[in-house]
């Protein structure tokens, strides 16, 4: 008999960065699948509002936890919120980008990007992955990016952080399969969220969040990674054959148009 999504990855899911965009949509779709939720982010009032809506609509339990994943103590906050429940699905979604000249960026922000996009998923995956392996059941999704496939000038640290997540997910998919734990890297292209505003760049040809999240949930347990949108899949296929430096130069030219006001060389407000 084929287990339902809830039987395989329930009864609880932990979603980081659930206060907006892709993370909030993961919460909505997982609630529709009947999973109870732990939602983590810094903007607690937003999490509380979403939690109330999902509880009322889907008759599930939702716990909202304020956690800043760039801070060393974040794990204790998440463990306190997940006490006495079984987390069968971890969605490492929280993340942000920094667009502009690398040397102009504040070093604290660059380091926080690494903490949120790389260190936090590493720590959460180790913590919850061990518990899943003991139960021989579970799933872990890393929300990486199509940027993981392409070194990207003017978004250098971000692209590198997403490559880290993609490689970690692909390696762990092999390692954890024998433990009964499925691992997937979800690699969206430009998606309609608050991401670009936060990063300080324009968004073009953005996909809606619904199909992006649906693709991730559908491919978990079937593939090690999924790129959303045919144009992004075409780009990744092209990159397998393109000389790496040529691709990086093209990426740099595109990013200059998206990040800088024409001619003044300064990042967009």
Give me the active site residues, please.
158, 162
Asked if 247 interacts with ligand NAP (CB under 6 A), we say no
Distance of closest approach, residue 25 Cβ to ligand NAP, in angstroms: 8
Applying CB under 6 A, what is the total number of residues that bind ligand NAP? Answer: 28
Cα R_g (the chain), whole angstroms: 18
Omega of the bond prior to 33 within 30 degrees of 0, cis?
Answer: no
Range 167-196, binding ligand NAP (CB under 6 A): 188, 190-191, 193-195
Q: Considering only residues 5, 15, 17, 98, which one is a binding residue for ligand NAP as defined by CB under 6 A?
A: 17
Residues contacting 167, CB < 8 A, separation 6+: none
Site pattern 205..244 for ligand NAP (x: CB under 6 A): ----------------------------------------
Any contact of residue 145 with ligand NAP (CB under 6 A)? yes
- Of 10, 21, 138, 216, the one binding ligand NAP (CB under 6 A) is 21
Please, what is the minimum distance in Å from the beta carbon of residue 84 to ligand NAP? 23
Cβ of residue 135: shortest distance to ligand NAP, in angstroms? 26
Can residue 41 be called a binding residue for ligand NAP (CB under 6 A)? yes
* Span 48-107, contacts to ligand NAP by CB under 6 A: 67-70, 93-96
Q: Output the smallest distance, CB 116 to ligand NAP, in A.
A: 5
Beta-carbon contacts of 138 under 8 Å, excluding residues fewer than 6 positions away, are: 9, 87, 88, 89, 90, 128, 129, 131, 132, 180, 181, 182
Do the Cβ atoms of 123 and 75 come closer than 8 Å?
yes
Helix 120-135 × helix 156-177 angle, to 10°: 10
In sequence order, the 6+-apart residues with CB closer than 8 A to the CB of 231 are 189, 205
Helix segments in 115-243, DSSP class H: 120-135, 156-177, 195-199, 209-219, 230-239
Bridge partners (DSSP) of residue 227 are 187
- For ligand NAP, the binding residues (CB under 6 A) are 17-23, 41-43, 67-70, 93-96, 116, 143, 145, 188, 190-191, 193-195, 198
């Amino acid at each position: 008999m084929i287990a339902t999504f809830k039987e395989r990855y329930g009864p609880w899911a932990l979603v980081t960065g659930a206060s907006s965009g892709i993370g909030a949509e993961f919460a909505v779709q997982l609630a529709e699948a009947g999973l109870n939720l732990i939602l983590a982010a810094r903007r607690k009032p937003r999490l509380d509002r979403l939690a109330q809506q999902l509880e009322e609509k889907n008759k599930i339990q939702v716990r909202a936890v304020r956690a800043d994943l760039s801070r060393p103590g974040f794990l204790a906050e998440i463990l306190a919120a997940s006490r006495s429940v079984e987390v069968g699905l971890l969605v490492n979604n929280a993340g942000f980008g920094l667009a502009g000249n690398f040397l102009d960026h504040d070093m604290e922000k660059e380091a926080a990007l690494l903490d949120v996009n790389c260190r936090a998923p590493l720590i959460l995956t180790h913590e919850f992955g061990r518990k899943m392996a003991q139960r021989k059941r579970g799933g872990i999704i890393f929300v990486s990016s199509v940027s993981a496939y392409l070194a990207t000038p003017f978004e250098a640290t971000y692209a590198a952080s997403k490559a880290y997540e993609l490689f970690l997910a692909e390696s762990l998919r092999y390692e954890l399969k024998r433990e009964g734990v499925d691992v997937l890297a979800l690699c969206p292209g430009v998606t309609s969220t608050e991401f670009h505003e936060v990063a300080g760049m324009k968004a073009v040809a953005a996909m809606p969040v619904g199909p992006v999240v649906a693709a991730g949930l559908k491919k978990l347990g079937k593939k090690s990674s999924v790129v959303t949108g045919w144009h992004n899949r075409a780009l990744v296929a092209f990159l397998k054959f393109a000389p790496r430096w040529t691709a990086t130069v093209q990426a740099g030219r595109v990013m200059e148009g998206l990040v800088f006001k024409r001619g003044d060389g300064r990042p967009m407000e």
